[in-house]
Amino acid sequence: MRPIEIIGVASGLGARDPRCGAGPDCIEQSGLASRLLQQACDISWRTTLRPCAALSPLAGIRALSATLAGEVSATVERGRLPLVIGGDHSCAIGTWSGAALALKKHGPLGLIWIDAHMDSHTPETTPSGAIHGMPLAALLGYGAPELVSIAAFSPKILPAHVCLIGIRSFESGEADLLQRLGVRVFFMAEVQRRGIATVMKDALAIALQGTAGFGVSIDLDAFSPEESPGVGTPVKHGLHHLELDQVLRGILHHPRLAALELAEYNPQRDRNQRSLRLVEDLLGAFCRRANT
């Protein structure tokens, strides 16, 4: 198994509740990497990136995304597995731009996006103006030019190579974009009806078909608020993390996995460290599977 290098992105610039910017530091200070290392998981916390306070949110996210893309690309090229921990989900622009850049000479990138939300707004469709609601659209080549142009090519991901899982809160503008592009969306109702294992099997097939590698991006609000209260935009009736743990054990050790991302941990909204423990459970399942 490739060594895992954690890249924190301590930014809440893209969120309506910016306190998620404290998430990476809280996770690092909890000793997560040390505990996973004790499970024989080859993991280290390499760096934590921070936004420039002097810049506007858009300019700050552009600069941070460009830096993150470079870090992720270099990590992939060194034969390591990048694990990006946000911060708000606008970090996905940098994460997957970097992964796509590293794989570009071999082929396109596939992406499994696990979230309560579509995150596919553009400046023309967003009701809130929050950039953490726009990253997937930017990766697909739609939205603010400052975000679309990260890593100097676009799109980073083709519609046929991306799918969303667990969606249950969205607006018509972003839904229309994904429908027009033909992006596969596994709404939460379908996940409940068919089961997460069956849905994830289909999702992996989409992410692998015709690609050089794939990534998994997990927004912690994908889970039910009872299990993960420490998020900025909780939505009822979400995924159950123990079920997802079991499924991810069969995916995250895949040799074509390019990168992994966890976003939107908000320690100020957590209760009894439930979300923090969920993060550790998810990554612990990965490490145990990687060494069995």
Residue positions annotated with a catalytic role: 89, 115, 117, 119, 132, 219, 221, 264
Q: Which has the closest alpha carbon to 5: 74, 89, 104?
A: 74
The token pair at 205 is 């097939």
273/270 Cα distance (integer angstroms): 6
249/291 Cα distance (integer angstroms): 11
Cβ atoms of 11 and 87 closer than 8 Å: yes
15's CB contacts (< 8 A; 6+ apart) are 21, 88, 89, 90, 130, 132, 232, 264
225/223 Cα distance (integer angstroms): 6
Amino acid of residue 80: R
Helix, coil or strand: residue 46:
strand
Cβ atoms of 43 and 3 closer than 8 Å: yes
3/35 Cα distance (integer angstroms): 15
